[in-house]
Amino acid sequence: MILTTFFANTTSFLAMASPSAEGGQSGGNPLYMFGMMGLIFLIFWFMIIRPQQKQQKQRKAMIQELKNGDKIVTNGGLFATVKDVHDDKIVAFIAEGVKVEIAKNAIGGVVAKKA
């Protein structure tokens, strides 16, 4: 229903924008154009901006909930086990006796939580 109305309004908007036989002047309502721009903004908001904000909140919560023993994967593809959590970085083991410091913004996700 909404998409049908959107496409009908878009086609009528495009018809208004085409030059007419009266010397290229169209008698369209400028408020109609602002309404269409508002509709396009709402579509972008619900299709792109809002889901991205939701993902950012989930990622921030995931990073704040990290604790000793969680298994993580970095953006570079390294799998590691969290040993210690600091303000802006974590200390993790990637193999027996191999300890690395990883920036929190380089964490791609949590593979498994410590039980």
Dump pLDDT digits (tens) for 48-102: 999 999 999 999 999 999 999 999 999 999 999 999 999 999 999 999 999 999 9
Residues 75 and 105 in one domain: yes
- Looking at the fold, whether 53 and 82 belong to one and the same domain comes out as no
Asked whether residue 50 falls in the same domain as residue 72, the answer is: no
Q: Which residues pair with 59 in a beta bridge?
A: none
**Tell me: the pLDDT tens digits for 12-31?**
655 555 555 455 556 678 88
Domain housing 83: 67-112
Based on the domain organization, do 34 and 50 belong to the same domain? Answer: yes
State whether 43 and 93 are in the same domain: no
Same domain, 79 and 102: yes
Distance (Å, whole) CA 38 – CA 53: 20
Q: Answer yes or no: do 73 and 33 share one domain.
A: no
pTM: 0.62
Q: How many CB atoms lie within 10 A of CB 100?
A: 15
Q: How many domains would you assign to the chain?
A: 2
